[in-house]
Structure 1
Amino acid sequence: MDEPRKSEWVRFGLHLKRLRTQQGLSLNRLADRAEWSATYLGKLENAKRAPNADVVRDLDRELRTNGALLRAWNDVVRAQAALDWYEQSRGYEKRAHEIRFFHPLVVPGFFQTPEYARVIVTHTVPTASEKRIQNVIRTRESWRKDLDTDGGLVLNVILTELALTRPIASEVMREQLDRLIQEAERPTVTLQVLPSGISDLAWLSGAFRLVYIEGEQPLLCAEHAIGEYLTDDEQETRKMETVFSKLQAWALPPDVTARKLGEMRQAL
C-alpha cells in the first residue's frame, strides 16, 4: 500500500531521479545493480514510499555519490521527525489546561508579530526563502490560535529583558511590545520579565515549556540547537519545574512587568 506523499519525500525522490538520469541509468538497470525492485525504486522517486537506510546505502553505493545520497536521506529523516514532533506537541497543547513557557533569547513564537517573526527568521537563517519565512509566520499565528486562552487555558510566560532589548528596528519592536501588553491584559495570561544582571544562572537552562493536561503526567518540551525534545519523564520534568519556579521568583511581578513593557514602548 502506498503511503501519503510528504514534501520531504518528494524532494528526496526528485534528487534520486536526477542522480539516476545524470548517469544514464534506467530504473530497471539501477534496480538490477542495487538489487531492489524497479517498482519499489519507482515509488521512492515518486514519493509514494518512505526511503529507509538500507535501500539508500545500496543506492548511494551504486550511484557512487560518496555519501551524498545518504546525507540527503538523513535530512529527510530529520525534517520528518521535526514535523512529527511538531504535530505531536501541538496535539498535547490543545488538550492542556496550563502551559509554562520560558525563552532566554526571543519573544515566544506564539506571541510574535509577523514582522518580529520575519526579523528573527532572517537573522537565524539568512538563506531562508520568502516562502519559508511566510510559512514560519503562518505557523506561529496558527500556534497562538491553538492556545485557546479564552477557553480557559492558562499561560505562564517568562521573558528575559535581553529578548526585549535586542537591536531590532523601533517600529518592529513597538508593534511587538503592543502585542505583549495586549496579551498581558488577558486574565488567563501571566507575563513576567526576567531582569538582566540577576545572579542566579537558572536562565541559562535554555528555552523550554511545561505542558499540563488534566489527569496526565506533565510534559517537558525543551529546545536545542537542531530541534526540540519532548518527554514525560518525571525526574526531568520536576527538575525543570524547579527551574521555572526559580525564574518566577527572580522575574518582575506581572503588574511591574506591565509597567516596564509600557515604559519600553514609550522609549522607542
Structure 2
Amino acid sequence: MANGSRQAAWEFFGTELRRQREEVGMTQAELGSRVFVSGAYIGQFEQAFRKPQLDISQRIDEVLQTDGIFERLCRKLIDDKRYADYFAQAAELEGLATTVWDFEPTVVPGLLQTAAYARALVLATHPLATDELIADRVAARMERSRLLRDATRPMYCVIVHETVLRVPVGGPEIAAQALEHMLVMAEERKVLLQVLPFSAGASAYNGSLRLMEFDDAPPTAYTETSFSGSLLDGPAVVKQARRAYDLLRGAALSPAASLALIRSAAEDLRRCTSST
C-alpha cells in the first residue's frame, strides 16, 4: 500500500472512531480512560496523527461494542511486509516528525543508506531470501530516504559510532560508497552528522536509538535490537532516552571533526579496494 493510500486509510480509521464515539455520547477523555490512554491520545487517533497499537484498537472495540472493526482496520494497516512488524509504526511517524535524532552503533542509519549497502544488510539477515523479498526491502528503505529530499523534511541529526565507519558492509567498495553518500548528505545540509569515536570508551547507550518530535504531539523514542523494537511515548522514559542521547552527543566529535574522520575512513576503504 502506498504511503498516500495508507494515510488516507488511517484518516478513515480516525473519522470512524470519532463517529462511533460520538454515537454513544462518549467524550475523548471518557473513552481514553476506558482504554488506558489519555483523551489527548484519542484526539490524535481521530486526527490520524498518531496510530493506535493493536491492543488499544481491540480495547476500543470492546468499549464501543463495534464488533472488531477497529482491530481489523489496524491489522490491515500495520500489515506492511516492507518493514519488520515492530518498525512499521516508527516508519509512519518519521514522516510526521519535525525533528529526528538517531544514534546507530553498528550500521549506517536507514535514511542515509545506499541501495547497495541496504541490499548487503538484507542479505546478511536473510541469506536465503528470494530476489523479490530483497528488492522489496531495499525499495522500502530507498523510499524512506526520499524523506530527506522533501521540502518539508524534518531536522535530522545523527550520531554514529566509529564502528559504523570501520565495518566493510558489502565489501570495501560498497562500504566506501555508503560513507561518501553520508558525506554528500551532510555537505548538502540534509543531516547533521557526528561520530562517537573509539576513544570515547563506554557509551551512554548501546543499542539503536531514535528520538522524534512533532508539532502537535508529545515526543517519542524508538529503540531497536536485532530482532525487536519498541516505540516509547511515556514522558519519563522519553526524558531518560533524551538524557542518554545528550550524553552521547557530548562524547561525540564535533561535526567538522566527524566529517574529517568519515572522509578518512572512506579513503581507507578505497585503498583496500585498489589493492585487491
Q: Does the alignment pair 1:191 with 2:225?
A: no
Contact 2:112 / 2:182 at 8 angstroms: preserved in 1?
yes
User: Secondary structure, in 3 states, of the residue corresponding to 2:198?
Assistant: coil
Q: Does the alignment pair 1:175 with 2:158?
A: no
Normalised by the length of structure 1, the TM-score is 0.65
User: Unmatched 5+ residue regions in structure 2?
Assistant: 1-74, 271-276
Contact 1:94 / 1:147 at 8 angstroms: preserved in 2?
no
Query: CA RMSD, aligned part only?
Result: 2.4
Output aligned runs, 1:22-171, within 5 Å. 80=79, 86-147=87-148, 150-168=151-169, 169-171=171-173
Distance, in Å, in 2 between the alignment partners of 1:149 and 1:157 is: 18
Amino acid at match of 1:232: D
In structure 2, do the counterparts of structure 1 residues 120 and 91 end up closer, same or farther at CA, with 3 Å as the change threshold? Answer: closer
Normalised by the length of structure 2, the TM-score is 0.63
Contact 1:193 / 1:252 at 8 angstroms: preserved in 2?
yes
Distance, in Å, in 1 between the alignment partners of 2:267 and 2:168 is: 16
Distance, in Å, in 2 between the alignment partners of 1:227 and 1:85 is: 6
Contact 2:99 / 2:213 at 8 angstroms: preserved in 1?
yes
Contact 1:149 / 1:155 at 8 angstroms: preserved in 2?
no
Among all aligned residue pairs of Structure 1 and Structure 2, give the percentage whose two residues are the same amino acid.
26
Q: Does the alignment pair 1:241 with 2:233?
A: no
Select the structure of larger CA radius of gyration: 1
For residues 60-95 of structure 1, the C-alpha deviation after alignment (integer angstroms, 9 at most, x for no partner) is xxxxxxxxxxxxxxxx99x94976654432332222
Distance, in Å, in 2 between the alignment partners of 1:145 and 1:198 is: 33
Distance, in Å, in 2 between the alignment partners of 1:200 and 1:87 is: 31
User: Secondary structure, in 3 states, of the residue corresponding to 2:200?
Assistant: coil
User: Unmatched 5+ residue regions in structure 1?
Assistant: 1-75
Distance, in Å, in 2 between the alignment partners of 1:191 and 1:136 is: 25
Distance, in Å, in 2 between the alignment partners of 1:248 and 1:102 is: 9
| Partner residue in 2 for 1:45 | none
Distance, in Å, in 1 between the alignment partners of 2:150 and 2:88 is: 20
For residues 115-149 of structure 1, the C-alpha deviation after alignment (integer angstroms, 9 at most, x for no partner) is 11111121222222221211111011011113456
| Partner residue in 1 for 2:213 | 212
